[in-house]
Structure 1
Amino acid sequence: AKYEGPIKKAICDFKYLGKKSYGKNFGKLLCEFIKRNDFPDFDLIIPIPLHWKKEFSRGFNQSAIISVYLGKFLKKPVMLGNLVKIKNTVSQTQLSESERKENVKGSFKVKKQSLIKGKNILLVDDVKTTGATTEEAKRVLRENGAKKVIILTVASS
């Protein structure tokens, strides 16, 4: 979906007003998208992680909530805590595409390679703007042995 209008408002309310129940609806939306389209097969779902400080201040990781519901709907495993964000990056909302790429460079790490080695992974996030975050996470997952990484977001701008 396009990141505008009601979708944008719902995602903002979800992230910044703590409307965690919206995560179920976003999970269902992604589930319907996968089922309706000729979507590639995958072994497990990994959400884009937040740095622990951001997750602590927000109280939750929105992508993890979406992923958990998506996993329930599709009966697919969700892997939390193996892909971690090790760099507390500044908010990207005001950054250009090149600044975003630089900002996220080196910010992700895989804790246990053996858990993703040879796996086809669905990488889930809430919003894709330039793709800098998801592409960096994808690069790190591939570098650590993932066979294929498919990116899926609720909305894109």
Structure 2
Amino acid sequence: MSAPAPERTTGGPQRSEYSLEIYDGLGRCAATFWEYVLIMRDYCIEKTDGNFSGNLFGYLTSEQTLGRKCDPKRFAQTESESVKSNSKWRKERLLPVPDSVDPSKQVLMLAHFKTSVKDGVAPRMYIHDDTTGTGKIYIGYIGKHLSNTMTS
């Protein structure tokens, strides 16, 4: 008998909803998401070293920055108006961060990286870029596509 998924006190999907193992047994999504982590690391280094002052999308589209990059089409800076205006869908994207980022210990994460569609799951990695505050990027969610007009 397996243990129940832990409860979360913040918004966002429950653990059982976002396991990708059943969709991606070979780990292709994990490899793609790891590449995105390395890209975000290089972006943070460029900002910390003073070589770049823009946002993550600007980094991905800049020819003057060093480091890893991906196709900018794989990154969305925000969500559609339909997602932003739907309270249930917004709540799914209210994800945990340290209180050094926000006293409520959660922020609305609309920026996300995309993988290719895998059996209709279309995995996503939701992030919060706090490079101008704590100097870090926070990953709030990795898993199947959250609710929107195409999934609901």
Q: TM-score range by the shorter chain?
A: under 0.3
* TM-score, normalising length: structure 1: 0.27
* TM-score, normalising length: structure 2: 0.28
Where relative contact order (Cα < 8 A, 6+ residues apart) is larger, the structure is 1
Which structure has the greater CA radius of gyration? 2
The structure richer in helix per residue is 1
